[in-house]
Amino acid sequence: STRFSYEFIQTSQPKPGVGQVTLNRPKALNALCTPLINELNEALQKYNAADDVSAIILTGSEKAFAAGADIKEMAPLTFSEAYTKSFIESWSLLTTQIRKPIIAAVSGHALGGGCELAMMCDIIYCTEKANFGQPEVKLGTIPGAGGSQRLTRAIGKSRAMELILTGKFFSGKEAADWGMAARVFPTYEALMEGTIKTAETIAGYSKVSVMACKEVVNKSQDLALRDGVEFERRVFHGLFGSEDQKIGMKAFAEKTKPEWSHQ
């Protein structure tokens, strides 16, 4: 269902139900040029629509998840061009249109837009030596793809402020210690193995409940607590209308393995 002729990414299905996008622009350390983002968006939309994909992995190489937005592409941009063409807005498709969970597997550099791309994903896994940072201040600019908002929510204001104002890098181990990454792995191989395992676990559950889990957790980032809890309850109520809720609870009572409806 996915095309094989991408220039800056690769797609694969490492396990049944798991779709993987691998950023593949090695000469520029996966710098996120516009054509790369367009390909990424296309691949993610295909996985979002594919019946045989329930969980998505987004990764780069051992050396670089992504070293940022493409500085060479951005350098000559004028305010008018950026404003009228809504530069960077298309990046957020990942957060607005992709309803299946995305795990970022981060090894090597995840800087600027690369760090922001990882934070747009639903779960971050990384290696101990992964190299995160928001160094935009060094280029005379600021994070532009959500970094100032998502990093602050992920690790707190004081730490985020320090990192964004100094541009200093932080390690995968620190990202995990601070709660930004869910898990940290000693090697690249262990990272990929662990990521695929988690994606496979998620893909083994009911698709409707997995998508609803993602939706309600993400609402917690946008809504006040009372509204968020109410939203969650409505979705929870709605799931009593799904076939999989009946299948899952019946299987529990009968001590059998649920066979999901795949709807």
- Name the amino acid, one letter, at 117: L
113 flagged as catalytic: yes
DSSP H or E segment with residue 132: strand 131-133
Q: Is 174 in the site for ligand CO8 (CB under 6 A)?
A: no
Using CB under 6 A as the binding criterion, the count of chain residues that bind ligand CO8 stands at 20
Contact 27, 72 (CB under 8 A): no
Among 40, 110, 145, 160, binds ligand CO8 (CB under 6 A): 145
Closest residue to bound ligand CO8 by CB: 112
Residues 56-75 interacting with ligand CO8 (rule: CB under 6 A) = 67-72
Catalytic one among 66, 67, 69, 203?
69
Q: Is 135 in the site for ligand CO8 (CB under 6 A)?
A: yes
Q: Is 144 in the site for ligand CO8 (CB under 6 A)?
A: yes
In order of 151, 221, 238, the CA distances from 228 in angstroms are: 21, 9, 15
In angstroms, give the least distance from the CB of 238 to ligand CO8: 36
Long-range contacts of 135-142 (CB under 8 A, 24+ apart): 135/68, 135/111, 135/167, 135/168, 135/169, 136/112, 136/164, 136/167, 137/164, 137/165, 137/166, 137/167, 138/167, 139/71
Q: Is 119 in the site for ligand CO8 (CB under 6 A)?
A: no
- Between 60 and 135, CB nearer to ligand CO8: 135
Name the site residues for ligand CO8 (rule: CB under 6 A). 28-29, 31, 67-72, 88, 109, 111-113, 135-136, 139, 143-145
